[in-house]
């Protein structure tokens, strides 16, 4: 069947979304439908110099020109080509797979373009991008926020009762010490009051002894 260039077009979604680590399906459908098995198909990444994602020529996949970034990760479903549909699976997508793509049928001059967006996993535990192997600076998950809040609540629950108990013990110690100090002061005052009286009694007794001694001498 003779087909003139420009009679067909490839229809594909403008945006494809995926999560890193998962597989994603790219491609489009020829309108009006046509058996694409004998045609050449090119899938390219438009923002890279090494742009070949997958090539199909002469009824089979053609891997030599494929970018090293996609090598071993792409699978073209040949059965879908019979109905005019291009279905390409990419396994284990990563953040660096995000970008603009193109499906192109050169003999028909039919093409479509779309954008693939790869989102980071919510827990941040799986990272396949080539730029870094660690978590980004300042990134915190919801569980970390929740854990920090619970730790702060636990710390407050332990510290506040401890402070109250320490304050109560301190007040009791001060009260007891105040009573002891007061008792010591009273005992000291009692001793000081008794010392002058004892000294006076001793002086009186000494004077009486002297007077008796003097009387005895006169009598002799």
* Cα gap 118→93, rounded to integer Å: 7
Residue 147, domain member (yes or no): no
Residue 216 has pLDDT above 70, yes or no: no
Q: Write the DSSP symbol of residue 133.
A: S
Ranking 4-8, 39-43, 67-71, 80-84 by mean pLDDT, the lowest is 4-8
Rg value, the chain, Cα: 50
Residues 99 and 165 in one domain: no
Average pLDDT over residues 146-159: 68
Residues 94 and 188 in one domain: no
Residue 182, domain member (yes or no): yes
Residue 149, domain member (yes or no): no
Q: Are strands 99-105 and 41-45 parallel, antiparallel or unpaired?
A: antiparallel
* Cα gap 63→54, rounded to integer Å: 7
At residue 68 the predicted structure's pLDDT band, cuts being 50, 70 and 90, is very high
Residues 15 and 115 in one domain: yes
The reported pTM is 0.55
Last residue of a domain, one of 67, 101, 121: 121
CATH classification at residue 79: 2.60.40.10
Residue 143 has pLDDT above 60, yes or no: no
Above pLDDT 90, what percent of the chain? 49
Looking at per-residue confidence, does 30 or 162 come out higher?
Answer: 30
| Of 121, 112, 113, 65, the residue nearest 93 (C-alpha) | 121
Residue 4, domain member (yes or no): no
Q: Domain range holding 66?
A: 9-121
* Cα gap 102→111, rounded to integer Å: 7
Last residue of a domain, one of 101, 121, 141: 121
What local confidence, expressed as pLDDT, does residue 175 receive?
74
Torsion sign over Cα 30, 31, 34, 39: negative
* Number of domains present in the structure of the chain: 2
Residue 138, domain member (yes or no): no
Residue 3, domain member (yes or no): no
Residue 4 has pLDDT above 80, yes or no: no
Average pLDDT over residues 156-175: 79
Spell out the residues 6+ positions from residue 82 whose beta carbon is closer than 8 angstroms to its own: 35, 36, 37
At residue 135 the predicted structure's pLDDT band, cuts being 50, 70 and 90, is very low
What local confidence, expressed as pLDDT, does residue 118 receive?
97
Pair 36, 86: CB distance under 8 Å: yes
**Within its chain, how far is the Cα of 19 from the centroid?**
19
What local confidence, expressed as pLDDT, does residue 167 receive?
82
Residues 90 and 190 in one domain: no
Average pLDDT over residues 1-20: 84
Average pLDDT over residues 184-195: 69
Residues 193 and 111 in one domain: no
């Amino acid at each position: 069947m003779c087909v003139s260039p420009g009679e067909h077009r490839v229809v594909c979604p403008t945006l494809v979304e995926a999560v890193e680590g998962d597989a994603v399906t790219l491609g489009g459908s020829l309108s009006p439908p046509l058996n694409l098995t004998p045609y050449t198909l090119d899938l390219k990444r438009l923002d890279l110099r090494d742009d070949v994602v997958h090539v199909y020529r002469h009824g089979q996949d053609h891997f030599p020109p494929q970018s090293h970034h996609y090598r071993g990760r792409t699978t073209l479903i040949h059965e879908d080509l019979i109905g005019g549909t291009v279905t390409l699976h990419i396994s284990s997508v990563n953040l660096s797979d995000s970008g603009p793509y193109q499906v192109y049928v050169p003999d028909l001059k039919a093409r479509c373009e779309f954008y693939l967006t790869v989102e980071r996993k919510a827990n941040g535990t799986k990272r396949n991008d080539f730029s870094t192997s660690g978590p980004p600076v300042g990134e915190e998950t919801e569980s970390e926020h929740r854990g920090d809040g619970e730790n702060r609540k636990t710390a407050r629950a332990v510290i506040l009762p401890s402070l109250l108990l320490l304050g109560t013990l301190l007040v009791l110690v001060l009260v007891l010490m105040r009573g002891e100090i007061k008792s010591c002061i009273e005992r000291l005052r009692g001793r000081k009051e008794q010392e002058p009286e004892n000294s006076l009694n001793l002086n009186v007794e000494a004077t009486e002894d002297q007077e008796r001694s003097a009387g005895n001498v006169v009598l002799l």
